[in-house]
Structure 1
Amino acid sequence: MSLALCPVSFAAASEFVEQFHRHNKPPIGHKFSIGVENNGVLVGVAMIGRPVARMTDDGLTLEVNRTATDGTPNVNSMLYGAAWRAAKAMGYRRLITYTQHQESGASLRAAGWAVIAQRPSRPGWSRPSRPREDDGTSFVQRTLWEAS
């Protein structure tokens, strides 16, 4: 096995997420994406963008909005580490992401990330002033992580 980081376009990352992510669709935009190849075959992607929560969108913080892999070992932790190195090199000071309650976060810990908060479940993103479709994250507790 020969894992290597590679650039990946928004379109290619979105297609990969559609195919391999367990419960979410691709985000609608991003700042950049990173891929991991195994002998020239794309086996994982990370999509990094502005934070979803408006209170954390301070211009110096990015969020890993999605990662997806085909199950190849160590790819997710490789993506999280590379995402932080790239964001830091671009001048960002924080990189955050969320996991759902049932996810262990082993890949994040392996990449040096730390838990900074537990978030209670919420009824969803939909509000009377801006209706949204349920994206599968309603009523799910989340853990907030930060690269360190």
Structure 2
Amino acid sequence: MRMDRPLIAPRLQLLPVSLRVANGFVQDHHRHHRPVQGAKFALAVAPRGSDCICGVAIVGRPVARHLDDGWTLEVTRLCTDGAPNACSKLYGAAWKAAKALGYTRLITYTLPEEGGASLRAAGWRLVGTRGGGAWSRPSRPRADTPDHLRGPKCLWQASGGVDKGKRLGAD
């Protein structure tokens, strides 16, 4: 085998997965988040010809209530085992699936120290930095979990390509 050739990343194939399977992968591989409670859909990637997944995306309603407008979904978890191009493949596929379902915007959040190269490669754009802090409010007391990341987050979005007036039930 010649060692002077650059290594080529294996081609990845998309796979549908259940929330249970996706959450199991998140439980085993995610650096700082636990599995989610619910989702609209979940996707996985695996090397072509293999059924051993190397990454998952879980997409659901936006966590922030004011963004839950019926047209927006959120990638609530994206997790890989480090396979090259897996993140950008999942972000791109998640947006394509969301558009096919009639949604006009897909968002996700990253930590400031995460560069966002996979998001940019998938055609997403950085919207800006968002708050952070505790979930609890005087009118709505909540206990934060120990793994709750309270610092600011970077909001990213993919949007466009669907006419809101064409959605069923739109007046």
Q: TM-score range by the shorter chain?
A: over 0.9
Cα distance change on mapping 1:80 and 1:135 into 2, 3 Å: farther
Cα distance change on mapping 1:137 and 1:100 into 2, 3 Å: farther
Alpha-carbon displacement from aligned partner over 1:8-37 (angstroms, at most 9, x marks no partner) = 000000000001111001111000000001
Give the aligned partner of residue 28 of structure 1: 37
Residue 133 (str. 1) matches residue 144 (str. 2): yes
CA distance in 1 between partners of 2:26 and 2:154 (Å): 21
More strand by share: 1
The size of the alignment, in residue pairs, is 147
Residue 101 (str. 1) matches residue 112 (str. 2): yes
Alpha-carbon displacement from aligned partner over 1:64-122 (angstroms, at most 9, x marks no partner) = 00000011010000000000000000000000000011111111001000011211332
* Counterpart selection for 1:145 from 156, 159, 162: 156
**Aligned 1:84-123 pairs, distance under 5 A:** 84-122=95-133
For structure 1, the 5+ residue unaligned runs are: none
CA distance in 2 between partners of 1:24 and 1:64 (Å): 13
Alpha-carbon displacement from aligned partner over 1:114-146 (angstroms, at most 9, x marks no partner) = 011211332x22345342332534331211000
The structure 1 segments of at least 4 consecutive aligned residues displaced by more than 6 Å after TM superposition are none
AA matched with 1:76: C
* Counterpart selection for 1:63 from 57, 65, 74: 74
CA contact (8 A) 1:24 1:135 kept: no
Residue 10 (str. 1) matches residue 34 (str. 2): no
AA matched with 1:70: D
Give the SS at the match of 1:126: coil
Q: CA RMSD in A?
A: 1.4
Alpha-carbon displacement from aligned partner over 1:29-72 (angstroms, at most 9, x marks no partner) = 00000000112210000000000000000011000000000110
Give the aligned partner of residue 61 of structure 2: 50
Give the SS at the match of 2:63: coil
For structure 2, the 5+ residue unaligned runs are: 1-9, 160-171
CA distance in 2 between partners of 1:127 and 1:120 (Å): 14
